């Protein structure tokens, strides 16, 4: 049974990439303006949730052909490495360094090593959301048993 909404699907198609761009903007701008890796990752996750809601789990899998575990692991690894690298350079854990650059078209920019850490956070948030969508959204639910049966069998029953 096709219960998808054509309108929703079309809207999502229109705004999906904009949302991803916004999420990247939040990630990059986060150090000086509202945003950051956490918020950026959440926006990206919301974009994927929209795609999921509009076109179903298969479309989501086509959009992000990467295993959520890989995204999670990469994020954690990036954050950990960024945290540890300063130790090997004689600094302390999570020390940061920054480079100021004049990018011709984009103007004066400062790139901080903090960005790498924030990217790790971004990826972990994104991976967790992907995993949740995939795990809970995968299969259509089975018909749920009647309420009475559920109540009588689970009420106050210790579960081991």
47 burial type by CB count under 10 A (0-12 exposed, 13-18 middle, 19+ buried): buried
Q: Within a 13 Å sphere around the CA of 26, how many CA atoms are in the beta-carbon half?
A: 19
Q: Measured from the CB of residue 14, what is the shortest distance to another protein in angstroms?
A: 18
Rg of the chain over Cα atoms, rounded to whole angstroms, equals 21
* Strand 107-112 with 98-103, pairing: antiparallel
47 binds another protein (CB under 8 A): no
Provide DSSP, 21-52.
Answer: HHHHHHHHHTTTSS--HHHHHHHHHHHHHHHH
Tokens 């600094």, located at residue? 91
Smaller CB distance to another protein: residue 10 or 97? Answer: 97
* Residue 117 binds another protein (CB under 8 A): yes
Interface residues for another protein in 120-159 (CB under 8 A)?
A: 120-121, 124-125, 127-129, 131-133, 135-137, 139, 141-142, 144-147, 149-151, 153-159
Residue 32 binds another protein (CB under 8 A): yes
Contact between 61 and another protein by CB under 8 A: the answer reads: no
Instruction: For residues 24 and 70, give the distance between their C-alpha atoms in angstroms, rounded to a whole number.
Output: 19
Residues that bind another protein (CB under 8 A): 26, 30-39, 42-43, 45-46, 49, 52-53, 68-69, 72-73, 75-76, 79-80, 83, 90, 93-94, 96, 98, 110, 112, 114, 117-118, 120-121, 124-125, 127-129, 131-133, 135-137, 139, 141-142, 144-147, 149-151, 153-160
């Amino acid at each position: 049974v096709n219960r998808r909404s054509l309108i929703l699907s079309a809207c999502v198609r229109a705004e999906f990439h904009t949302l991803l761009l916004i999420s990247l903007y939040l990630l990059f701008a986060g150090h000086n303006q509202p945003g950051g890796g956490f918020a950026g990752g959440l926006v990206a996750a919301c974009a994927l949730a929209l795609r999921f809601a509009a076109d179903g789990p298969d479309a989501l899998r086509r959009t992000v052909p990467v295993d959520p575990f890989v995204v999670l692991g990469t994020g954690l690894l990036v954050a950990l490495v960024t945290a540890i690298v300063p130790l090997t350079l004689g600094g302390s854990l999570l020390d940061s360094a920054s480079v100021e650059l004049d990018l011709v078209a984009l103007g004066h920019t400062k790139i901080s090593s903090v960005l790498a850490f924030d990217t790790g956070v971004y990826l972990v948030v994104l991976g967790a959301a992907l995993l949740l969508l995939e795990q809970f959204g995968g299969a259509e639910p089975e018909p749920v048993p009647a309420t009475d049966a559920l109540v009588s069998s689970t009420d106050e029953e210790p579960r081991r």
